[in-house]
Amino acid sequence: MQEPAITAELIASHGLSPDEYNSILEIVGREPTFTELGIFSAMWNEHCSYKSSKKWLRTLPTDGPQVICGPGENAGVVDIGDGQAVVFKMESHNHPSYIEPYQGAATGVGGILRDVFTMGARPVAAMNSLSFGEPGHHKTRQLVNGVVEGVGGYGNCFGVPTVGGEVRFDPAYNGNCLVNAFAAGLADADKIFYSAASGVGMPVVYLGAKTGRDGVGGATMASAEFDDTIEEKRPTVQVGDPFTEKRLMEATLELMATGAVISIQDMGAAGLTCSAVEMGDKGGLGVRLDLEKVPVRETAMTAYEMMLSESQERMLMVLRPEVEAQAKAVFDKWDLDFAIVGETIAEDRFLIMLDGMVKADLPLSKLASSAPEYDRPWIETPAAEALADVPEVDPIDGLKALLASPNYASKEWVYSQYDTMVMADTVRIPGIGAGIIRVHGTDKALAFTSDVTPRYVKANPVEGGKQAVAEAYRNLSAVGAVPLATTDNLNFGNPEKPEIMGQFVGAIKGIGEAVAALGMPIVSGNVSLYNETDGTAILPTPTIGAVGLIDHVDHIIGCDVRDGHVALVLGETIGHLGQSAILAEVFNRIEGDAPTVDLMQEKAHGDFVRENRDLIKACTDISDGGLALAAFEMAEGAGIGLCLDAGDTPTLFGEDQGRYLIACNFDQAEALMIAAGHAGLTLQSVGKFTGQTVRLGAASAPLEELSALYRRSFAEAVA
């Protein structure tokens, strides 16, 4: 095939600016070949190089005594004691999921699972954070159904329980949904596998499924805004096969146990290019690839296509040559491709051959280390205007407005499509706070949560960033877990717009401050920028995935709400209504500042809940929808009515931070009051759980009526 001429149009179509192309000319010393241009495009796009975000990501706290491996590998690794580690990460598959919802979401799940087992960990839990446009938008129903089916279709077949997540709707996502996938796995702390190649002349081995043309240019597509040519981008979306992935995992873990693996890397974004370059660069070595040896499922594939394909269920490995036959036997047993496609070399070269012809010959280190790094201009988000008066709302009418919204209605329609119990270690399924799994064969448990409130971040990026971490901290603390560490998935619009970059910088500052104060370092993550369509950006959505440890399953704070239990609120209620759910749902007003986050108070409250777990029968954090929604959800889950003393809007629906709702009997409430007094914390009785009626101040409604509304509203809106 005649390779196309390198023109300004071709360069631009590869997502490279004129200045970036000039840098390539300086590095190579000549005009690049078409394949070389594709390789630079893949390595230097936003999705792979983090060129707009690296400067700020470096400011995030990533260390702690519990951290075994922080950012930079396929996933983060955290010590959980007894020689065990939890391996976890969250990543986005936003652009593909908007173009092709089922496959986009499915391959997002597949990719994050590979990131985990590539480190030597067996996946044990999954979560997802989904953001869609307004329910009435013509695309929303299709996207919701396709994405949820894709997440369930892949995760269920692979056999990993989905234990948590979140779903939101806002007009800002009309043209660009978000699909953030999280996975966690367990491994022996001394048997973690890394991606840095070592040793000259070591065989580079291709593992897994065959390479096709699906996903060619996927990473570049994911680093660009959408416009009216979106349908043309469908071929850039990968196609997943969970049954192949399951076999790949078993074969990989079996191979790792033999001691044959020197280094290993998932083939994700930018496929063979990115995996080979990262392995070589981290090990200070060059790599030669002979592409005719790559297993393919389509005829006459070019070097360009093979290097940029993002076909799924593939790995790249550097192997100890003396165990080649043993390693191949493992993959033959699992009916997977095993092909030696190259070797490590001493020179700083990325040498790509096809049928004896040189298709690319580049300095390997420059592909990674010389990727552009921008200090984008940014404008601090202006302080929000003070909130104008908010009229009082009938408490029951206000609660009904929340329950009727797919944002706050039960998400059972979503998580009922996911397998939540496979592997038989799930302790708490989605729908009731943080998900919990038992650490198999031990008395320990791990808790998982995913949190962000995008409207807070837009109003006040610093406080919104802090709040996302603080809410994750509260969700873990509310089940009795000690928060260990976090992964972040930073979803923003076009960073070339100073106001968008200002949102990013502010959120990073808030997140950094919060993880430092709460002892939850960032150990992995993903940045997804250019989430815009026709110039309209999404809400800034820095999703925080967090993991906590419970030292014994008997120490889990349960959901045992009973008739007669006292309702207590830990933390001070001022009644902050700026950017609140009630303001948006009842008055259609997105106004005011985000609530402030007192990190020292957050820590003190979390410590108090965990230290007094024996006195607490049920606990939840108070966030979106305030006390009224938190108390209703707790009551509805137990099938018991509710009586709250307050009837005013700020007390019932305010979203002051740092607060927990606690249920317990009278004697336990008394003991908690004494303990809170000694600790100098605010803890007050706000009502009780009783009967079959929900009473808020003087207003009331049957629990049955409200429960039916809560349970059906989501499906009626978008299913």
Is pLDDT at 217 greater than 80 in this prediction? no
Strand ranges inside 218-260, DSSP E: none
- What's the farthest any 2 CA atoms get from each other in the chain? 83
Q: Which helix (H) or strand (E) holds 703?
A: helix 703-718
Q: Hey, what are 360's tokens?
A: 């690319």
Active site residue 565: no
Is pLDDT at 625 greater than 60 in this prediction? yes
DSSP class of 71: B
User: Residues 47, 95, 565, 576: which is the catalytic one?
Assistant: 47
| 190 contact partners, CB below 8 Å, separation of at least 6 | 83
Q: Which helix (H) or strand (E) holds 180?
A: strand 178-188
Q: pLDDT band at 590, cuts 50/70/90?
A: very high
At residue 230, the pLDDT reads: 43
* Side-chain half-sphere CA neighbours of 496 within 13 A: 9
Strand ranges inside 320-460, DSSP E: 337-345, 350-354, 357-362, 426-428, 435-438, 445-451
Span 240-244, mean pLDDT?
91
Place of tokens 């603080």: 470
At residue 369, the pLDDT reads: 76
Is pLDDT at 220 greater than 70 in this prediction? no
* Tens digits of residue pLDDT in 258-301: 999 999 998 877 789 999 999 999 999 999 999 999 999 999 99
Span 553-573, mean pLDDT?
97
pTM attached to this predicted model:
0.95
Q: pLDDT band at 3, cuts 50/70/90?
A: confident
Is pLDDT at 240 greater than 90 in this prediction? no
At residue 412, the pLDDT reads: 97
Span 145-165, mean pLDDT?
96
Residue type, 45: N
Span 439-455, mean pLDDT?
97
Q: pLDDT band at 219, cuts 50/70/90?
A: very low
At residue 189, the pLDDT reads: 97
Q: Hey, what are 620's tokens?
A: 């939840």
Is pLDDT at 137 greater than 80 in this prediction? yes
* Tens digits of residue pLDDT in 657-676: 999 999 999 999 999 999 99
* Tens digits of residue pLDDT in 20-44: 999 999 999 999 999 999 999 999 9
Q: For CA atoms 126, 188, 246, 312, give the dihedral sign.
A: positive
Could you tell me the CA-to-CA distances from 568 to 179, 212, 645, 673 in Å, in that order? 36, 58, 11, 9
Which of 482, 453, 708, 685 is CA-nearest to residue 567? 685
Q: pLDDT band at 225, cuts 50/70/90?
A: low
* Tens digits of residue pLDDT in 339-387: 999 999 999 999 999 999 999 999 999 998 778 999 999 999 999 999 9
User: Residues 14, 93, 576, 605: which is the catalytic one?
Assistant: 93
Q: Hey, what are 84's tokens?
A: 């065990």
How far apart CA 402 and CA 643 sit, in angstroms, is 18
| 693 contact partners, CB below 8 Å, separation of at least 6 | 641, 642, 643, 700, 701, 702, 703
Is pLDDT at 511 greater than 80 in this prediction? yes
Three-state secondary-structure class, residue 40: helix
At residue 49, the pLDDT reads: 87
Three-state secondary-structure class, residue 630: helix
How far apart CA 245 and CA 247 sit, in angstroms, is 5
Place of tokens 């006040």: 460
Could you tell me the CA-to-CA distances from 13 to 25, 49, 123, 226 in Å, in that order? 17, 17, 37, 13
Active site residue 47: yes
Strand ranges inside 134-174, DSSP E: 162-169
Is pLDDT at 228 greater than 60 in this prediction? no
Span 584-607, mean pLDDT?
98
Q: pLDDT band at 216, cuts 50/70/90?
A: confident
CB atoms under 10 Å from CB of 337, counted, come to 20
At residue 234, the pLDDT reads: 43
Is pLDDT at 60 greater than 50 in this prediction? yes
Q: Which of 222-236, 239-253, 607-621 has the lowest mean pLDDT?
A: 222-236
Quick one: how many helices (H) and strands (E) in the chain? 25, 28
Q: pLDDT band at 236, cuts 50/70/90?
A: low
Span 180-194, mean pLDDT?
97
How far apart CA 185 and CA 218 sit, in angstroms, is 26
Q: What is the mean pLDDT of the chain?
A: 94
